[in-house]
Structure 1
């Protein structure tokens, strides 16, 4: 089983959250870090479970106080990883997974060079666009921003230790389990 820190990165809509949710359900010893964000909760999302929903002012205080391992602005909102809970879990020897954006992955690479970094890619850009649009949770402007960012992220996939193409949830989950040594 993995020990230490593993990051999962990929464009919005690629299925990172679903993969991680299934992984942690199958392997409860893996600890998933809860990211902080300034975006509004989507339907069904719960503060402290899905994200730590912060005001922009509160998020900026976290940055200023250096209480984040990484942070980035994405699609008009801030996202980041609170440092203390991750360090506590790593100190206990528990494997930790972070779901983070490209800029955050780059920051983590600098601060935790031994981190195992996995990029989750879509089967095609058209499929990614379909997935984002089918959520029906965002404005056309927000979708365009996410798709523009997705192109940048996909181009950076070679920076990662491994790339998984998420064509089928069960197959991708099995590949992820093999990569991190939990199957």
Structure 2
């Protein structure tokens, strides 16, 4: 909730237009994640739903994890992009359940991660690692499957640091969660 929401929540309220939701999805597909600026909040699956409520666009957002330090920045970027596009006072709802999972990353988002030099999550968010199973992580530079873990934590908590045994390049791996 933003300052003034309770007082002026109906400011700019209007009936939904047939193209509003498609336009909003298109706008949000251009809002990039601040930690990985080549993948949008839509491709990451952070934007869960859009609908029209009480004359305003209603946006459901699920952060990648409840303690993500970028959550407020992402929500601010979403709000700003929508307002600049003419959506008055969009209503954002932070929804923590069900929890975000890497399964929600789109195919194009995974490809953009790879092209950026981050190995996208392999497999699904199953708990295989609890059973001692490690994912086969391909090097985003050369495509080799001969990779090794250097650290369980990479540039952010949701990534691990790997190195390719063949090309010797270090890279982040977006962990399955």
**Structure 2 length-normalised TM:** 0.25
Q: Structure 1 or 2: larger helix share?
A: 1
- Length-normalised TM-score, structure 1: 0.25
Greater relative contact order structure (CA < 8 Å, 6+ sep)? 1
